């Protein structure tokens, strides 16, 4: 059998129940590797339709917004595996609403899931990642690159995660750890029907307008990034690259574009 990058790897995927996390799981199950699937509803994760006979699959229940749940998950993983080659730091939640309409509870819940939970998980699993000179690949958003109107809590939580993980990358430079932040474009997932509205209720919005990537397409990009420890900030479509560059060269022009493009979003919340 031809040796593949994923053969014999130990891979942790958060948010593996649906969307991009599920797509990652289904794609990686085609290889003889060990998968640790972390999700709030881990028991609901079904066997993939196609899988390699040598794949090993673990399901770990974990609510990233609950520190005790994260601690339990970390302790379980530490006992079951001796290394982690790749951590797909994928789970997250969105929150929509104007800065002045978002309740403080929404800010706290968003940061609990998008920042504090992932940071606690990474800290707990860091010895296993360092043992393998592994790679942390985080599913992020262009909303982390600049404060987006109608997304204050979401943008802030993802931006904070960027800064913390960039610090980690520099601190572990001599230890061989990879840390990549992948700003994915609009993707066909349930993000807009499972996030938070301004008052903390369940968000229910139509999918974003325009062309959207499939979860499988994004999973393939994340898998490609995982093979490249030199990858840092990855934006893989024109809108992402536009925002990445314009925040430095002409933030005033960028803000006018964001105002016009997302006017209906923040004026309706």
Q: What is the pLDDT tens value at each position of the chain, 269 positions in all? A: 346 999 999 999 999 998 999 999 999 999 999 999 999 999 999 999 899 999 999 999 999 999 999 999 999 999 999 999 999 999 999 998 989 999 999 999 999 999 999 999 999 999 999 999 999 999 999 889 888 888 899 999 999 999 999 999 999 999 999 999 999 987 766 655 668 878 788 776 655 555 778 989 999 999 999 999 999 999 877 777 777 777 777 888 787 888 787 656 656 54
Q: Where are the alpha helices (DSSP H) in 11-98?
A: 19-28, 67-80
Distance CA 60, CA 32 (A): 19
pTM, whole model, 2 decimals?
0.88
Distance CA 227, CA 194 (A): 31
Write the DSSP string, 100-128.
Answer: TTS-HHHHHHHHIIIIIHHHHHHHHHHHH
Cβ–Cβ < 8 Å for 29, 7: no
- 66-71 long-range contacts, CB within 8 A, separation 24+: 66/117, 67/116, 67/117, 67/120, 70/117, 70/120, 70/121, 70/124, 71/120, 71/124
Edge-first strand listing for the sheet containing 86-89: 56-61, 34-39, 10-14, 86-89, 135-141, 178-184, 233-235
* pLDDT at residue 207, rounded to an integer: 56
* pLDDT at residue 2, rounded to an integer: 47
Task: Please report, for the chain, the start and end positions of each structural domain, with discontinuous segments joined by +.
Answer: 10-240
Distance CA 109, CA 91 (A): 14
* pLDDT at residue 205, rounded to an integer: 61
Cβ–Cβ < 8 Å for 59, 45: yes
Q: Is the domain 10-240 a CATH 2.40.50.140 member?
A: no
**Joined tokens for residue 72:** 């339990």
* pLDDT at residue 146, rounded to an integer: 85
Residues annotated as catalytic (active site), given as ranges: 154
Residue-level length of the chain: 269
Closest CA to 236 of 141, 97, 157: 141
């Amino acid at each position: 059998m031809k040796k593949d990058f994923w053969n014999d790897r130990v891979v942790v995927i958060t948010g593996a129940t649906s969307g991009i996390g599920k797509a990652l799981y289904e794609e990686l199950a085609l290889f003889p590797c060990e998968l640790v699937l972390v999700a709030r509803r881990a028991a609901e994760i079904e066997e993939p339709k196609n899988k390699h006979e040598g794949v090993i699959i673990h399901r770990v229940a974990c609510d990233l917004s609950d520190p005790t749940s994260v601690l339990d998950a970390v302790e379980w993983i530490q006992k079951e595996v001796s290394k982690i080659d790749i951590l797909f730091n994928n789970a997250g939640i969105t929150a929509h609403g104007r800065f002045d309409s978002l309740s403080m509870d929404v800010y706290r819940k968003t940061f609990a899931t998008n920042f504090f939970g992932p940071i606690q998980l990474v800290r707990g699993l860091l010895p296993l990642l360092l043992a393998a000179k592994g790679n942390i690949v985080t599913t992020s958003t262009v909303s982390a690159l600049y404060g987006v109107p109608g997304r204050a809590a979401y943008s802030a939580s993802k931006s904070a995660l960027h800064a913390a993980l960039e610090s980690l990358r520099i601190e572990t430079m001599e230890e061989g750890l990879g840390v990549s932040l992948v700003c994915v474009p609009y993707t066909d997932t349930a993000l807009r029907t499972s996030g938070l509205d301004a008052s903390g209720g369940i968000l229910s919005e139509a999918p974003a307008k325009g062309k959207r990537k499939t979860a499988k397409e994004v999973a393939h990009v994340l898998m490609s990034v995982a093979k490249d420890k030199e990858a840092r900030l990855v934006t893989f479509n024109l809108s992402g690259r536009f925002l990445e560059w314009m925040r430095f060269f002409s933030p005033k022009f960028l803000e006018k574009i964001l105002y016009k493009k997302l006017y209906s979003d923040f004026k309706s919340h």
